[in-house]
């Protein structure tokens, strides 16, 4: 069935992401079936959606009538069994938004394929797992596509559309047009680990952790530098605490493993220890910072020289990663720039930032780190070397 204004949208998983996707679809006029195996999760989702819609009314983005209509369009289905899966039969699109567990996701896709129409689209909201692997669990892998929203889905504009090697290009095009119709900004990513954003953004966290582990600067100073000097809306440590250290660490591990343990994506022991201790960030009350009542956030060392060196190091790593993503055909240059500005609110596109700094400068910073540490972690992209060589030839 073609995706249209009257398409019924299914969402499996009623966590923060699933409930957010359900809200977006319902606000755009679609009937939504939102399911979760845990009844309490549905209760939390119902409450969260109601509060979010009320905020939209307070901000003048929705009328009271529109918010009420959106609430009424969502049907909540508790439990997972034949009767529950049957509820998805009329859906033209079903988006899976459960835990990043490949076997569990495969089981969901297998169950859904038994009940939905032959031409309905199956989508995953995975942030780092293989779309091809999920398609492999289905009889009709050509209709399986990645539709990766960013949290919170009602607020964040970016959605990555990911076609696997087995996905019909017409399905990719249909999914993109449909999500564009929801007012989102879509980009096309290849089915590679981390897609665009979660691949390119790894140095924002990883290099900050490395700097802190070496005692060069503490988290508060690194965050201050990235905000006040680098222009980022949030520093890496406060962002990891906001995302959840368990979530951020899991994505890093997933990308690292999927990239055949390339040291460029190696997780940090510091973050592993925080996760093991249950210090997950804001949601647990403690992470890199203490958010409990009465706690005071540490003051940064406002050293401009240290701050600039910190920003220069992390930004060079980010630019190198963006250049390499383009080199490896992860996405087009335009979509890479859109993804990093709209998906994680970077102050400017990384490819443009590299041009602004000068590719020779970026290469010098990367090779200096490689010379200092002797690690492949600081391997310059072949394209960065080529661009720097061309710049030397032109400029003399």
Let me know if residue 103 belongs to a domain.
yes
Q: Are 72 and 53 in contact (CB under 8 A)?
A: no
pTM of the model: 0.94
Let me know if residue 140 belongs to a domain.
yes
184 and 264 assigned to the same domain: no
Let me know if residue 1 belongs to a domain.
no
Let me know if residue 3 belongs to a domain.
no
Q: For residues 270 and 210, what is the distance between their CA atoms, to the nearest angstrom? A: 9
Let me know if residue 388 belongs to a domain.
yes
- Convert the pLDDT of each residue in 338-375 to its tens digit: 999 999 999 999 999 999 999 999 999 999 999 999 99
Query: In a 10 Å sphere around its CB, with 0-12 CB exposed, 13-18 middle and 19+ buried, how is residue 148 labelled?
Result: buried
- Convert the pLDDT of each residue in 207-222 to its tens digit: 999 999 999 999 999 9
Of 150, 171, 190, which closes a domain? 190
Give the per-residue pLDDT at 80: 80
| 205: its two tokens | 């966290």
- pLDDT > 90: what percent of the chain? 94
- Convert the pLDDT of each residue in 34-87 to its tens digit: 999 999 999 999 999 999 999 999 999 999 999 999 999 999 999 888 888 999
Let me know if residue 299 belongs to a domain.
yes
**Residue 69 maps to which CATH number?**
3.40.50.720
Q: Are 199 and 255 in contact (CB under 8 A)?
A: yes
| 68: its two tokens | 């009420």
Let me know if residue 259 belongs to a domain.
yes
Q: Alpha helices, DSSP H only, in the chain?
A: 16-27, 39-58, 64-72, 82-86, 102-113, 131-135, 169-180, 197-200, 202-213, 219-224, 236-243, 245-258, 269-276, 304-327, 333-338, 350-357, 359-373, 382-395
Domain count, the chain: 2
135 and 178 assigned to the same domain: yes
Of 190, 211, 230, which closes a domain? 190
124 and 207 assigned to the same domain: no
204 and 129 assigned to the same domain: no
**Residue 375 maps to which CATH number?**
1.10.1040.50
Sign of the Cα torsion 19, 152, 236, 302 reads negative
Which residue segment(s) compose the domain that 75 sits in? 9-190
212 and 130 assigned to the same domain: no
Give catalytic residue positions. 127, 148, 160, 198
181 and 216 assigned to the same domain: no
What mean pLDDT comes out for the span 270-295? 97
Q: For residues 253 and 320, what is the distance between their CA atoms, to the nearest angstrom? A: 20
Q: Are 378 and 370 in contact (CB under 8 A)?
A: yes
């Amino acid at each position: 069935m073609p995706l249209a204004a009257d398409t019924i949208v299914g969402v499996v998983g009623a966590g923060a992401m699933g409930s957010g996707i359900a809200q977006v679809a319902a606000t755009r006029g679609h009937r939504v079936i939102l399911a979760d195996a845990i009844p309490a999760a549905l209760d939390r989702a119902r409450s969260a959606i109601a509060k979010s819609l009320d905020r939209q009314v307070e901000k003048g983005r929705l009328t009271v009538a529109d918010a009420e209509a959106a609430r009424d369009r969502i049907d909540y289905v508790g439990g997972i069994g034949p009767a529950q899966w049957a509820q998805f039969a009329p859906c033209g699109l079903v988006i899976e938004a459960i835990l990043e567990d490949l076997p569990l996701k495969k089981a969901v896709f297998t169950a859904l394929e038994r009940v939905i129409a032959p031409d309905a689209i199956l989508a995953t909201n995975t942030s780092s797992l293989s779309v091809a692997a999920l398609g492999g669990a289905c009889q009709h892998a050509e209709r399986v596509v990645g539709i990766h929203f960013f949290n919170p889905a009602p607020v964040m504009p970016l959605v990555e559309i990911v076609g696997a090697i087995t996905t019909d290009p017409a399905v990719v095009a249909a999914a993109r047009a449909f999500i564009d119709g929801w007012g989102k900004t879509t980009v096309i990513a290849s089915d590679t680990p981390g897609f665009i954003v979660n691949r390119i953004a790894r140095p924002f966290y990883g290099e900050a952790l490395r700097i802190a582990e070496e005692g060069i600067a503490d988290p508060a100073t690194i965050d201050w530098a990235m905000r006040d000097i680098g222009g980022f809306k949030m520093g890496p440590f406060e962002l990891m605490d906001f995302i959840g250290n368990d979530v951020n660490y899991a994505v890093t591990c997933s990308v690292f493993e999927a990239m055949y343990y390339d040291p460029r994506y190696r997780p940090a022991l510091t973050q592993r220890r925080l996760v093991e201790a249950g210090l997950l960030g804001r949601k647990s009350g403690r992470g890199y910072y203490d958010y409990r009542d009465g706690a005071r956030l540490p003051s940064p060392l406002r050293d401009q020289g240290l701050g600039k060196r910190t920003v220069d190091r992390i930004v060079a790593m980010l630019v190198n990663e963006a250049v390499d993503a383009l080199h490896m055909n992860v996405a087009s240059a335009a979509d890479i720039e859109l993804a990093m500005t709209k998906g994680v609110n970077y102050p400017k596109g990384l490819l443009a930032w590299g041009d602004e700094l000068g590719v020779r400068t970026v290469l010098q910073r990367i090779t200096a780190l490689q010379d200092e540490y002797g690690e492949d972690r600081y391997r310059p992209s072949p394209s960065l070397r080529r661009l720097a060589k061309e710049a030397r030839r032109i400029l003399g």
